[in-house]
Homo-oligomer: A and B are copies of this chain.
Amino acid sequence: MATPDPDAHLREETIESKEVFHGGLLEVRRDRIRLPDGGEATREFIVHPGAVMIVPLLDDDRLLMERQWRYPLARVMLEFPAGRLERGEAPLACAMRELGEETGYRAAQWGRAGVLHNAIAYSTEAIEVWFARGLTPGERHLDAGEFLDLHIATLAELDALCAGGSVTDAKTLVCQLWLQNWHAGRWDIAWQDGS
């Protein structure tokens, strides 16, 4: 016998799904949906392939970060390395690739912290958060049209920048949450070898 759905009074069902915009980067769908009360509504959202972000821990506990121009906000942002999944790419493979391309570093060990959804009202995007340690430097290979500075921060510096409002990138703030709790021995990360 099927278990009753405890979320039936919240659930929205798809009636019809339609792509309404397909750009170079963004793909937008507008779905006709059935509301929990039987009414109809539309939901408009971006279909995103998913992404990863990497928290690279140097051996002295400092953090390898990036400064990058973010065009929608017309400013340089301090953030952890991140990138979109390529078609069929596993998140860890993407994390290794992006860390290498953007910073030149390779990591001896990787640990998955968790996943975040950064725009739940209008995007399917999920970002997996991976910690990387045992770092060795190498040559970076930026994509065409990609310009970024590496920035090495101590934990205390990053904490002060988050508290003071200089770091506003949501995914980087979520990494700070993980960093704090992992360093305090409160939240656990399972490490695996890999380069």
A residues near B (Cβ < 8 Å) are 7, 9-12, 20-21, 23-26, 28, 30-31, 33, 35-37, 39, 41-46, 67-73, 76-77, 79, 114-127, 145, 147-149, 159, 162-163, 165, 168-171, 173-174, 176-177, 180-181, 186-188
* Partner among B23, B168, B186 whose Cβ is within 8 Å of the Cβ of A114: B168
Closest to A125 in B: B119
**Identical copies of this chain, number:** 2
Q: Once the chains bind, are A24 and B10 in contact (CB under 8 Å)?
A: no
Other CB < 8 Å A-B pairs besides A26-B28, A77-B117, A180-B180, 5 of them? A23-B30, A116-B173, A119-B123, A119-B125, A174-B177
Residues of B near A71 (CB, < 8 A) are 12, 31, 33, 43, 45
Bound CA–CA A190/B158 (angstroms): 21
Question: Known contacts being A46-B26, A147-B9, is A170 close to B77, with CB within 8 Å?
Answer: no
Closest to A40 in B: B145
Q: Once the chains bind, are A23 and B28 in contact (CB under 8 Å)?
A: yes
Bound CA–CA A73/B181 (angstroms): 27
* Partner among B120, B127, B147 whose Cβ is within 8 Å of the Cβ of A79: B120
Q: Once the chains bind, are B28 and A44 in contact (CB under 8 Å)?
A: no
* Partner among B25, B147, B169 whose Cβ is within 8 Å of the Cβ of A120: B169
Of all A-B residue pairs in the complex, the 7 with the closest CB atoms, nearest first, are A21-B21, A45-B72, A25-B44, A177-B177, A118-B170, A43-B71, A70-B120
Q: Once the chains bind, are B163 and A173 in contact (CB under 8 Å)?
A: no
